[in-house]
Amino acid sequence: MKRVSRRGLLSAGTGLVAFSAGCLGRLSDDDDGSSENTDESGGSDLSPLERWVPASGSSELLFHYRDLTAVRQYEDALRTDVVESVPTLPDGESSEFVEQVADGEPAVDAVCRFGSKGVAGNVVVSGSFDPGAIDADREPAAGDFEVFERDGVSVAVSEDTVVVSPSDGAALDAILAAGVEGIHRRIDAHGNFAQLAERVGDSTFLWGEYEGSDDGAGAAFSWTLGAETATYSGLAVYADAGGTAEFEDTMADRSGNLTIETDGNVGVATKTIPTAEYEYRDMFAERGSQPTEPYAGVTFDRDRQSNTVTVTYQSSGTADRIEVRDESGVRAELTEVGETETLEYESGTTATITVVAVAGDTKNVLFTETVSF
């Protein structure tokens, strides 16, 4: 089985990598997801990732999550610009559906999005809703849900949850079976996914990916807000315990006083900062199947001893190439995944390095980093 590198993803939460939605290699998926473990409680004690993601659908899974209730709870401890930058609704058609049944944005408590590579189109939104506000023919579904169809999108609505399933996402029936009836959940069918989902269940903000079945591989980073402190967690689950050696090496190279621990085939790196210093970075910006802006996975490593910065083209996403720039202009163009460029600077120099994804005539700034030597 191909070993999957997590260097790009796991550095994301510390601000050293651009968003990537395609850095997983192809892994096998031999499990048919036929677990019949029912949950009579409806899964209310589970995180959205554990409860709603079905075993069926693409084995290559991306997921995003944000807990808006926690953001409102700790609003006084956060900077005003941070609170204002957190999206309160999913984008696109999902936003339209939620707005129709929600009495204002504060009615939304949390947004969970999951799906296949480049899509992540299934959306589960919790809050307080009015199913009767939908002007469409509705049919009874599982539990207290009513279902309607519009423009190829299936939507299920109850008084506390909205589930949106586009034509290229997991089937709505499968999502409701997982979330309402507690059957055919991915956590029951894929052991390594269960390990990952369990460890990030209390997160305020979460982004991650997983691929494969019981012996699949995945990674996630999250932030958990508190009244005084915010805790970052970078996590990777590997096909076997040998992968954690790579995790330890990768995270040991990162700045930020990370505490690194391993448990079997799982690695976890954490750090804590004052909540007032937390800066929201929209690493899980909603993306449809055809993003308007090119994106890619790029790692950024600074070595103070050698006065160098190394940029690595980690995954292509939708970009044709990567441009690396500083005050002197474009320093390098990376056109193949795996290419690296090392920039050297004199002692006492401060440089602002910008990494840009390019697709045709469209350019998108992935990140800008200022370094001093």
Cα distances from 69 to residues 74, 163, 203, 224, in angstroms, run: 9, 18, 12, 12
Q: Report yes or no: 93 and 164 within 8 Å, Cβ to Cβ.
A: yes
Q: Is the pLDDT of residue 326 over 80?
A: yes
Where is mean pLDDT largest: 19-33, 77-91, 250-264? 77-91
347-371 mean pLDDT: 85
Higher pLDDT, 283 or 227: 227
pLDDT of residue 283: 63
Where is mean pLDDT largest: 85-89, 172-176, 253-257? 172-176
pLDDT in tens, 158-210: 999 999 988 777 889 999 999 999 999 999 998 899 999 998 888 999 988 88
pLDDT in tens, 68-78: 999 999 999 99
109-128 mean pLDDT: 83
273-280 mean pLDDT: 90
- Structure confidence at residue 3 as a pLDDT band (50, 70, 90): very low
Q: Is the pLDDT of residue 15 over 50?
A: no
User: How many whole angstroms separate alpha carbon 219 and alpha carbon 268?
Assistant: 10
Name the β-bridge partners of 49: none
140-145 mean pLDDT: 83
69-93 mean pLDDT: 88
114-120 mean pLDDT: 69
Higher pLDDT, 330 or 215: 330
Rg (CA), the chain: 21
Q: Is the pLDDT of residue 262 over 60?
A: yes
When the pLDDT of each residue in the chain is averaged and rounded to a whole number, the result is 79
User: How many whole angstroms separate alpha carbon 150 and alpha carbon 346?
Assistant: 60
Q: Is the pLDDT of residue 37 over 60?
A: no
Q: Is the pLDDT of residue 17 over 80?
A: no
Q: Is the pLDDT of residue 310 over 60?
A: yes
Where is mean pLDDT largest: 54-58, 106-110, 116-120, 224-228? 224-228
Q: Report yes or no: 20 and 297 within 8 Å, Cβ to Cβ.
A: yes
204-233 mean pLDDT: 89
Higher pLDDT, 116 or 98: 98
- Structure confidence at residue 6 as a pLDDT band (50, 70, 90): very low
Q: Is the pLDDT of residue 266 over 60?
A: yes
Q: Report yes or no: 232 and 270 within 8 Å, Cβ to Cβ.
A: yes
pLDDT of residue 45: 83
Q: Is the pLDDT of residue 292 over 60?
A: no
pLDDT of residue 287: 44
pLDDT of residue 254: 58
Q: Report yes or no: 289 and 115 within 8 Å, Cβ to Cβ.
A: no
CATH fold of 297-372 reads: Immunoglobulin-like (2.60.40)
CA atoms within 13 A on the CB side of 164: 27
Nearest alpha carbon to residue 217 among 182, 260, 267, 179: 267
HEC profile of 17-44:
ECCCCCCCCCCCCCCCCCCCCCCCCCCC
Please count the other Cβ atoms lying within 10 Å of the Cβ belonging to residue 298.
26
pLDDT of residue 227: 96
